[in-house]
Amino acid sequence: MKKAAKLKKILLISALSIVALAFFFFSYTLRVIYQDVKATCLKAQREYEEDCVNSLIKLVQSDKKTFRERNTAIWALGQLADKRALPALKSLYTGKIPPKESFSQTLSQYELKKAIQWCEKGNATSWMYRLPLSFPFLKLF
């Protein structure tokens, strides 16, 4: 009997540890995504002096920016999932996604497709950007 109770205790502690670890990694991943989107937004806003979405749209449409910068802005617009970005994203989307794309040599049709889908239907992380910046969950790390 004591062995069974001890085994149950070990299993419970193991299960709780796994849940805690999973929560930590999930929280950390969300925080990293949030920070990357915020940094991309702030960089665009410094240059275009508009709100985040409009600044990112201008960056995506600029021929003076590198493909990598534009692709990063496309990704950020997808994360934000704001419908205002749809016309700009759709104007750049050809519908032809090559098997392999270089982020530094072309606009990513794959990223454009994802960003369009997320702007139309939402995504798993867009709720983070609608919360006040003081939201405690985002200050964990």
Q: For 61-116, what is the HEC assignment?
A: HCCCCCHHHHHHHHHHHHHHCCHHHHHHHHHHCCCCCCCCCCCCCCCCHHHHHHHH
Residues whose CB falls within 8 Å of the CB of residue 7, separated by 6 or more in sequence, listed in order: none
Classify residue 115 as exposed, middle or buried by CB count within 10 Å of its CB (0-12, 13-18, 19+): buried
Q: Quick: pLDDT tens for 68-96.
A: 999 999 999 999 999 999 999 999 999 88
122: helix, strand or coil:
coil
pLDDT-wise least confident of 1-10, 59-68, 80-89, 103-112: 1-10
Indicate the domain borders of the chain. 2-139
> What pLDDT, in 10s, does the model give residues 29-54?
878 888 899 899 999 999 999 888 99
pTM > 0.85: no
